[in-house]
Amino acid sequence: MLIDATPLSLFVSGTIWGALILYVVGEFGRSLRPSPPWTRPLWILGSACYICHVISAFSLHHNWSHSAAYAYTAATTYDLLGINSGLGLWVNYIFTAIWIVEGLLPGRWGLTVNRRLNRVVRSVFLFMIINGAFVFVAGPQRWFGLLLVVTLLTIWWNDTETFSG
């Protein structure tokens, strides 16, 4: 999705990029020992930005229509991958639920994080970020998305407490 010049479209794009940046910074804080007190609030702020993105995109681009969003997703998927499917919209719904639940569950922020569950959640985030910030964008946004993905993978690679084992 390319950014067009209207203020509302800039808001839709800005909220998702803000959400992704806050997520990556939050994951960095989460990887530090001990985890700084700003980590979870910043990470949850990223989740709030993502929710603003979803609401604004549904309102401004799809006129609150699931059918319109599904058709847009199917057309975009077909243009990029040659697959005429809007199932990616349902994947987005699941991702939204995971991001909200992940931020709200206190047990997901302790020192005894379930490593297997952590890998699953991180895999979902990575899949969505690669698709949303690299595959389905063009131009400078794609390079910025690649930078976010590489940064995130570096953070996770070095986070031996919650990723290894």
Q: What is the mean pLDDT of residues 123-128?
A: 94
d(C-alpha 164, C-alpha 110), whole Å:
16
- Torsion angle of C-alpha atoms 81, 87, 89, 95, degrees rounded to 10: -100
What is the span of the domain harbouring residue 83? 7-163
pLDDT band at residue 118 using 50, 70 and 90 as cut-offs = confident
* pLDDT, position 58: 94
Mean per-residue pLDDT over the chain, rounded: 89
* pLDDT, position 8: 84
* pLDDT, position 110: 64
Cβ–Cβ < 8 Å for 16, 50: yes
Q: What is the mean pLDDT of residues 24-33?
A: 92
20 by DSSP, 3-state: which? helix
Paired tokens of 104: 């709200």
d(C-alpha 152, C-alpha 124), whole Å:
13
Position 2 in a domain: no
Position 1 in a domain: no
pLDDT digits (tens, 9 = 90+) for 37-74: 999 899 999 999 999 999 999 999 899 999 999 999 99
Residue 63: φ, ψ to 5°: 50, 40
Position 159 in a domain: yes
Position 40 in a domain: yes
* pLDDT, position 2: 46
What is the number of domains present in the chain? 1
